[in-house]
Amino acid sequence: MATNKILIVDDDENICELLRLYLEKDGFETCTAFDGEQALALVDEYAPDLVLLDIMLPKLDGWQVCRQIRQASEVPIIMLTAKGETFDKVLGLELGADDYVTKPFDTKEVLARIKAVLRRTGDVEREALQKEVRFDKLRINLTNYELTVNGQNIDTPPKELELIYHLASNPNRVYTRDQLLDEVWGFDYYGDSRTVDVHVKRLREKLEGVSDRWNLKTVWGVGYKFEVK
């Protein structure tokens, strides 16, 4: 199996060195950049499997770098930020970042986030030809983001569709709310399980009574499952 290459972008050389040592100890190959222009050049030259990208950078800031990378590449990006404001997080994700870590960070957390993002993006590549699941009177297509019930397309927000697709792709498997937050939302929603409950409630309004062969079921005290009878 090929070694994953990580591009570390931060103008603090101590942080770069800390991350480099920690990631290489875990078997990753690394490369470092200390400003935005150098980062963009290395994305082309080094072809990393993932970019750790600080926001406050000389020459071009992290937002600009993220935006320019996304114009040409789908390489996973994890933003590093000393700011904890929701605006920063939302902006990064809207620009195409896959996750973010707030400084000061624990290197173990960074490593866990890297592995989670690589796992998710790897799953996406493997499943590129398997983006649809079908059950009685139900079709969930994640390629076109279409939910079809009784032959009718139902307008469904992206996260609702991703949630029902994830559950229906693993029928009869019980997921906790935290697992669903991690695997469907994929970033820092930890601790707010109401997000899952609200999305399940809305899905139930669309799917209630459609078929007696499957059901979006609550497993009390645990979480949810897509039950197939």
Residues 42-68 have pLDDT tens digits of 999 999 999 999 999 999 999 999 999
- Mean pLDDT of the 208-225 span: 93
Give residue 1's pLDDT: 44
Confidence category of residue 74, pLDDT binned at 50, 70, 90: confident
92 band by pLDDT with thresholds 50, 70 and 90: confident
Question: Does residue 109 carry a pLDDT above 70?
Answer: yes
Instruction: Give the pLDDT score at 30.
Output: 96
Q: Between residues 123 and 169, which one has the greater pLDDT?
A: 169
Is the pLDDT at 20 greater than 90? The verdict is yes
- What beta strand segments (E) does the chain contain? 5-9, 29-33, 50-54, 77-81, 99-102, 132-135, 138-141, 146-149, 152-154, 175-176, 214-219, 223-228
Pick the residue with more confidence: 119 or 50?
Answer: 50
Whether residue 190 is predicted with pLDDT greater than 80 in this model: the reply is no
Query: What is the mean predicted confidence (pLDDT) over 11-27?
Result: 94
Task: With cut-offs at 50, 70 and 90, classify the pLDDT of residue 186.
Answer: confident
Q: List Cβ<8 Å contacts ≥24 apart for 79-85.
A: 79/53, 79/54, 79/55, 80/10, 80/15, 80/52, 80/53, 80/54, 80/55, 80/105, 81/54, 81/55, 81/56, 82/55, 82/56, 83/55
What rounded mean pLDDT belongs to the chain? 87
Note the pLDDT of residue 181.
86
> Does position 126 have pLDDT exceeding 60, yes or no?
no
What is the reported pLDDT for 143? 82
Q: pLDDT at residue 125 above 80?
A: no
Predicted pLDDT at 225 = 96
pTM above 0.75, yes or no: no
Q: Residue 111 pLDDT > 50, yes or no? A: yes
Could you write out the DSSP letters of every residue in 122-184? Answer: HHHHHTTT--EEEETTEEEETTTTEEEETTEEE---HHHHHHHHHHHTSTT--EEHHHHIIII
